[in-house]
Structures are given as structure tokens and as C-alpha cells.
Amino acid sequence: MLAVPDRVEEIPNIIERIRRGEKVDHYETKRQTKDGRVLDISLTVSPMRDAAGEIIGASKIARDITERRRLEDRLKEYTREQTALIEARTASLQREHKARQTAELLNKVGPLLAAELDTQSLAQKVTELATQLAGAQFGALFHNVQNEQGESYMLYTISGVPREHFSKFPMPRNTKVFAPTFAGEGVVRSDDITKDPRYGQNPPYRGMPEGHLPVRSYIAAPVVSRSGEVLGGLFFGHEKTGVFTEQHEMLLTGIAAQAAIALDNARLFSESIRAQQALSRSNDELRRANADLEQFAFSASHDLKEPLRMVAIYSQILQRKYGDRLDAAANDYLRKVLDGAYRMEKLVQDLLAYTRSSVPADPSEVVPSVDAEAVFQQAVTNLSQSIEETGATIEKGPLPVLRITEVHLLQLFQNLIENAIKYRGNARPYLQVHATREQDLWRICVHDNGIGIASEYKEQVFGLFKRLHTSEKYSGTGIGLAICQRLVLRYGGTIWVESEGEGRGSRFCFTVPGAESGSSQGAESGAEHSPGRGQHH
């Protein structure tokens, strides 16, 4: 009645032990109360003897240990939880320690790889470092390269075994084992690659080729650039099984990332070297072409000038000797021939000037400093006849010291001032010339009160032979502003025109480099020291 159903078999065993005179002490079991509750108890059963020493019965003492057992169970559960917590923390600390070790290794590897810019040397260094850090018996890096013709092919470097060992085997293909790596799908790790379901499924070997290294443990990581391009793959092996761990995966992932950056940098460096070499060849060819062009322009101008001079001279002789015998129409024809010859000669001169201005500056040439004040004065002197004939007034602010060849600056001033006088309106020409600093450049503007320029022609005026008016109305060849643009571009500057429309004047501005020192002071103090300060008539 006292025993719970699954403990009834204990009773005969206990009675048998009492019959043998044994004492059952602190036997923990379960029993039930009258109301059916099941209790954990500690049972003590002792044999009872008569005067003759015969066993005639037994005494039982049952102590209720339910609460103690509950406390013990809770203690065991708590102990298990604490043990699991300690194990988890220990594992976390171990992972953290391994991660720190991995990071320290990668921090050492990164600078070593970044310092190497030769692709093949870099690949060999990556392979050797990674093989050593992964604890691999042998390793290889297969990577894509591109030659100067843009053709792609694959190279490889190995470590831990002579290169000749691989020379008789073909390059890895996109088999089921290698494909994930060459596709950039992440690390592949196998404790025994020969038991991997992807292994041995491709002809002609159907497994390990005869004479190949005895690879069992296998790990591979793709080398992927920052742009997502798969540059190649790192492959490592060992003849023992179970060599590579999760930590090796982390380590190789980091090394592959470092290798990708270094290979990217090396490739960019190689491309920049090739680009520099190509640019140098192009510059040499351009210099030769420009030299030929300049020589041709000199020759052509000389060859053209002579027949033009003959046309002009004999036209003048005809006009002087026989002009009184010719009718008005014939004299008009002669005048037009002379005018055409003069305009053609001016055109040849301007074309020669344009050709010279088109020759790129030699990078090794040291451009001298020039005082813009003195050059401006020379330009005004050269144009003094036009200035006097038109009654032009020129107001000038202080001008700086510039980094430009003197004759080029003189061409700029003369072209812009001459145009401002030529394209005047009904009023007398009035010009303002001033300079302002813009970081390393100076902006110089020539502002006039002339006929102005419509907005749709502001770019067109700098084109070669781009004229907005007929030569009968305004003389010229249409090359002057094109020469100005070429000269300014030669020194890294820009030129543009601002105008509020026809009849409202124009402002032509250009930028050129200032001198390394003293340019700002020269401009600011020009009002006190410049002899050209004020007006020119």
C-alpha cells in the first residue's frame, strides 16, 4: 500500500536483506501517503531479533526528503547552468583570443603585401605567407592577369613543394570542388576532400591524378576585389585529415581580402606604368607631329608670301604706270587684287602665329616671370596709331607679375585691345583693364564699350575663322581670338567673353598663373610704382 507502482519490486529485495540480518540505511526511494501524494523519502530498515537472536521482524523509519531533493535538483540545475555559462564564456574568450590573434597576424601581413607592387612577386609572397599561417603542407595562388594587348590568362604561384611538381598538370578547371572558389562564393573547407561528395566527378582523372600531391585536408578561399571582380583563388592542402579549422577559415578570409587589395594596387600600378609609357610615346609622337606642322607652316608661309608679294608689286606697277589709261572698272579690279593680296598676306601671318601657339608647352621648360605692366605698355605702344586715330581711352588698374612667356602675353594684350578698338560703336572707344587674384591664377579682363556680342555667339568667337561680320565691314582674318585661346590653354588657363548683348559692350577675360612670389604685392602696389597708371589716349 505504501510503495508507488514503479517501486513495488523494492519490497521483496529489502525483506530478503533483512532476513539475512543486513541493515538498510538511508535508502532513498519514493512512497505514497494515504491521500495518494508521492514523497521522496530516506528509508532506514533494521532487523528485529528475539532473545535467542532469531530475526522475527523489522523496524522502518521513513524520513520525508522531498524538499531536500527539490533543493538538490535546483542546485544541480543551477550548477549545470553555471557550468554551461562558464563553458560559453570560455569558448567566447577563446574565440576572442583567436580573433585577436588573427587580426594581429593580418595587421602584420597587410603592410608586407601593400609594399609589393610587382604582381608576380606579390603573388608568391601571398602564397608563402598564407601557407605558413594556415599550417598547410602546400599551397597555391591562381590569379588572372592581363597583358598589354588586353588578353587575359591565368598564372599561379606555389609554396611547400617545387614548382616542377605542378608543371605536368593542367590548370584547375571549374569542377564541382574548384567552382565555388573561382566563382567567389566563399571559403570551402573539408577534413577529407577524398570523401567529399563533389570530389572525383570530373574526367579524365575522376579524382586525384597519378603523381599528384596526397591532399586530404583541403581549404580554399576566393580572392575578390573591392569592385566584386574575382581575381583568383587561394588553395591549400595537407596529407593528414582534419588539419584545418574554423580559425583557419577566418584567417584565410582576411588574407584573401588583403591579397585582393594588394593585387588590385599592383595591377593599378602596372596599368599606370603602361599608361605613362603610352602617354610618353604619344607625347613623343605629338612633339614630332607638331615640329613637322610648325616646319610646314614656316615653309608654307614663306612659299606663299613670295607669290603674294609678286602679285602686290606688279599690281602696284600696273596701277602706277597705266592707271591713267585704265577706266574706272579696271582700276577697281586692280584695287581689289591689291586688297586681296594684303589680306592673304595677313592671313598667312596669322596662320603661322596660330600654328606656333598650338605647340604644347614642354613640361621641362621653365617659364620665366614677366611683369604684365611692362608688357601692357609695349602692347599700347604697338597699337598707338590705332589708339590715336580712334581717340580711344584706356584705363588700367595695377597688373601683377605672371608666369608666362613675354611674347605670348604681348599677343594676348594686343589682340584683345585691338579687337576692342576695332569693334567699336558710334562712341569713342573706352577700355578698362584690370586684374584680380584667383588662388594660383590671375584673372585679367579687358572691358570695352563696343558693339557687344549676342549670347549665342560667345563660344563661336573663339573658333578658327569664326567671324560675326564681313571683312568689308570689319577687317581681319578671324584667327586672333583662336590664337588667344590656344595661348591661354598652353598655360593651364581659360578665356571667355561676357556681354549683355549687342550694342552694350564686351568684357574679355583670361586666366594665367601668377609668379611664385611677389605677384600679389606687385599688383597691389602697382598704383604707386607703375608708370602706366592712369589713362592712355
Neighbours of 238 (CB within 10 A): 22
Top-confidence residue, 500 or 476: 500
pLDDT for 158 beyond 70:
yes
Categorize the per-residue pLDDT at 528 as very low, low, confident or very high, splitting at 50, 70 and 90.
very low
CA 402/CA 441 separation, integer angstroms:
9
Which is more confidently placed, 422 or 476? 422
The candidate with the shortest Cα–Cα distance to 219, out of 254, 245, 256, is 245
Give percent above pLDDT 70 in the chain. Answer: 74
Task: Report whether 224 contacts 259 (CB < 8 A).
Answer: no
How far apart CA 18 and CA 12 sit, in angstroms, is: 10
* Grid coordinates given for 502: 549687342
Range with lowest mean pLDDT among 68-77, 78-87, 111-120, 316-325: 111-120
**Is the pLDDT score of 14 beyond 60?**
yes
Sheet holding 217-224, edge to edge: 152-159, 138-146, 230-238, 217-224, 188-190
Cell digits of residue 161: 613543394
Check whether 537 has a pLDDT greater than 70: no
Task: Tell me if 182 sits within 8 A of 233, measured CB to CB.
Answer: yes
pLDDT at 421 exceeding the cut of 80: yes
In which residue are the cell numbers 601683377 written? Answer: 400
pLDDT of 534 strictly over 80: no
Given a cut of 80, whether residue 448 has pLDDT beyond it is yes
Count Cβ atoms below 10 Å from residue 268 Cβ, excluding itself: 12
In terms of pLDDT, which residue wins out, 408 or 309? 408
Q: Which of 127-131, 188-192, 352-356, 523-527 has the lowest mean pLDDT?
A: 523-527
> What is the average pLDDT across 75-80?
89
Q: Cα separation of 174 and 121, whole Å?
A: 26
pTM: predicted TM-score of the whole model, two decimal places: 0.40
CB neighbour class for 477 (10 Å; exposed up to 12, middle 13-18, buried from 19): buried
> Residue 200: pLDDT above 70?
no
- Burial bucket for residue 236 (CB in 10 Å: 0-12, 13-18, 19+): buried
Question: Quick check: 254 pLDDT over 80?
Answer: yes
Q: Is the pLDDT confidence value at 167 over 80?
A: no
Ordered by where they begin, the domains of the chain are 5-64 (3.30.450.20), 106-270 (3.30.450.40), 364-536 (3.30.565.10)
Percentage of the chain with pLDDT > 90? Answer: 13
Residue 204: asked if its preceding bond is cis (omega within 30°), the reply is yes
pLDDT of residue 114 exceeding 80: no
Give 424's pLDDT tier (boundaries 50, 70, 90): confident
User: Is residue 215 very low, low, confident or very high in pLDDT (cuts 50, 70, 90)?
Assistant: confident
Residue 481 has pLDDT above 50, yes or no: yes
By mean pLDDT, which of 41-50, 169-178, 478-487 is the weakest? 169-178
Residue 213 pLDDT > 80? no
**Cα distance between residue 485 and residue 462, in whole Å:** 7
Q: Is the per-residue pLDDT at 72 higher than 60?
A: yes
- Of 347, 355, 350, which is closest to residue 290 (Cα–Cα)? 355
pLDDT band at 395 (very low <50, low <70, confident <90, very high): very high
Per-residue pLDDT at 432: 92
pLDDT of residue 525: 36
Least-confidence region, from 40-49, 69-78, 104-113: 104-113
